[in-house]
Structure 1
């Protein structure tokens, strides 16, 4: 009765009523059994399926942690098979999704983009040069699934910019990849869906998509794909944000782990319910055998039950062993439940291991037909070093990632070596061309073809290095040490001497000016100020460097080459014709640029009375006097030498009507300056200046010019200063006659 969950009948009527219900009780329990038995099978199957899905997700998460792409692992392995079988680098066979991503500012359109671009994203992009081998391999082998690929032309036009507010405009494409330009153009042409917010906005466009992924196509055809593999972020394929996908898969794993426990618990509950129903059916069957209440010693049975229950309680209270057994039974029941869970878990793992075994067997069969040995020891050493640089552990799970990374590293090294080879080829070609241009008669070949003549030029280079270079270096050393550096040093000394010469001559001129008064009790002196230009200082520094290393350069080839570079730089600046070089050269060679000059009028005590930097502040006569003194000083500077006490080697000086309008005092002081410097004056002046010029003139020639209405005549004759005074006072002298 306890198995039926009903109280014991105490009367014949109660027993008869129970007996009449036994068939219904057994039938109800049997019907429930018939209903729940299939459910138990379904529940256990569901628990195993969830466990398998959970394990697959865990495996996917583990693989993704080492992966470099969002493409599903099976498709990655399929690409590796194609690449290896066709002999094409994996990097040359990207999935379109690996080159496409959603722009950072358009992230809310990612779900729609994943739905619309799913088929294109899982399409391989095959370069045109490899299409034959790829087509042949795919056609001749079982790909164990769907393979779609597009052939990318070698030369792709620059893609047009996608129209604003279209799906293509919300995407970015990696155009650094060789297939990027073609893919960008394809997206702009084929995925120009107008992006709208709601389904109502679709009506006004031929091709459009909502933010939730509903697509309107031409012909009023609408489509929305909400399959889990398109809506779950853990299945997204666009771009390279592996961290986001990993986070989404981690959420899936946590959810699936909960489902594993829930389905296992549900299966256990069904199992316990079915066991209880079986017990009910069995108890009803046994009770139906009792048909007479009188034949049942229920009082004795009841008393026996009460006695047994009482004894059980006493035993439970006093018997430690019984309590221990009960605890063991409870522990055993818990262990049983755990074993049931573990059994379901192991079934899921076995299923996963079985699939994995199949994949590993397939991989083994493929690998066994390929060569796996390298005979050359140097090649083995090199490959080992490349493999060591790839930081991925070598396990069966990581082998696809390791193979891909290893291939990429080899491809990178190959590209680097090819770039170095191209650079070396270019340098060799340039060197050969320059050699032919400079020394065509000595060239073993004048075609300039590196492939054809490179070996001959290499032999020539070795010959030059071995035999001719030492001789040339010796001549080069002598040219630098014995010719160029001394010549530059001599040039520098000449420049320095020129500066000294200026100062010496200024002192000489000042000595001459000291002999003649500039004004009452004052003399004019020329003041010089030296301020060496930056270019001259730079040149001096380079010369000092050349001279300081001259001795050591004879013993050190590197220092000798440095000396040559210094000389070459200086010669380039001295010979260049551009404006900057001319300015530099002028400031170095013309030492006058380093000086400024002005006049200083000093008294007998040497104190400065006035300074003259120009004639702007003087009267007309003072200006002429200052100009005359400066002219006398300049002529003395250029026509005298240090042994002549400032007197010119060539003394005649012609002055035409000089000082004709000047004050007599200023004119006499100016003429005195010329006379004191030793110049022989030859002057043309009007007769009225005869008294002024007389002290400085030894002989006079009178020129008389007569102008009439019909002609003009001039006569010349010697005269004395007395005759000049007479002619000057002649009353008949008028404007029609002039004399000098």
Structure 2
């Protein structure tokens, strides 16, 4: 559908409140099937006016007409009321326009079928103009129409609009673009031919201009030669007639030779000067380079060569400069470069031999591990001293003694190392449970929430399959005796122990196998438990379980955070034997700013009940929620002129206390109440904030 028609449809749809999909053009509800594609021109010609008809549901036609009347449309939009859900005629005569169409399934289809089946639009299709004669409407393939003695040919709009989609239009545009591209290529070829003709004409014009600008005297060589000969004859005649002129000529010739010789000597001296300057520049650059190299060498640590190293270096130097003379110091930079290259090549060869030797050692060490596995030995060249000690011990002690020592070490691993590990894992979890008991005792006396419920920290042991299997294997390895095992049983036990140790090695351990190491998940008991907060009512009924802060208001979240963070700090700073935490003061910046007085009060009581001393910092407008619960109120203000901050204690009596000036680098002022910024009276040294447990200080 052309854009201007669709734009007008969008305008009237917006004005009438009817969606554009409920206002179709008739052209969007019909299409020409591929087998009838050659009749598209005829269909577009006969149905051109009807295809551009906008269909309006009949029950909304009056509303539509009233709504679009004020619109200043840029074009003429034709529309018609259509009754929906009608039954139209079936497929028509394939020799007529109606029979060459397919229809889209929609509420408008019945009306569209009736409309197009009317004789004034359902033209008979004929192949050529000879068959146009008759009393009914007929149309040719080319789009010529005739009704009796009246006919027409041609189209006002050459674009095709009938169809369910724009594929046909796109194909037509593609064909047109192909024709335009072919035309442009043809024009380019013609332009290139014209350009070549223009260049040829330019070359001819330049040749003609050169010929026109040339005179005969410029190209008549014989005439010029005769004129030169005549002038020479006249000159010789003049000189022959006057002895004085002859003497002057000889003098001129002699001076010319002298001048030429002087010029040659001058040019020679200039060349010598240039060579000297170039040599001086080269020597200066060399001197600077040598001085820089000497300075660099002076800053480097000196290496003293022994006699063997010095002799080897001399041999390398002689071999590098051969067959040149190594004592020729003028060629020393070149000789030094050759020596450097030889040493680099020798070092590369030595590194290659070292790499091969290292690979051979690793192969030997790997073969040893396959035969005699040892988790304490690596397989790289870095373990060479360990293997050397093993070899020396085998040679010194003997294989039998080494076998017995290995059995004793295996017994030590099984008994002395693994048994404490199993007990430590179990005792760590029990220790966490024991340290939670006094915290829960404290929380049992602190009201939580608006209904004054109670909060309890609950520990639940997790049982991941990997951890269960690990601990089962740990008990098996730590409980069995190895003294009475046969050799093959001991080796099997050793392999089990080796695989077990690989799972708990640190990843940075050179002996660790990255794919097997799972130390944190297996040994960190914090991953073996889950900590939640349970809320109980006054009768001991479980109300809720908290594992996150989701779904709570700001005040509820801050109260829950106060209880949980306070309990966590008490867990870290105390134990079951302490009545108070090891460190009591807690600073809260902008604490409880989202809580009302009730939430803040319960949170403060929780902190104090857990044995902490609160020091809370908050803006001036957030003080009221905490005011009933504070023991001390300090106001801090800043003088923007002097850049000094002042601290003042505020009491209920309204008495203004002493204010002290404190230099600060803060860029903003945090104030709880007005203070005297201009005062320099020293503060009372005996009044220090937060001097006892359970005290709450605001600043």
TM normalised by structure 2 equals 0.36
Q: Which has the higher helix share?
A: 1
Q: Which has the larger radius of gyration?
A: 1
Bigger relative CO (Cα 8 Å, ≥ 6 apart): 1
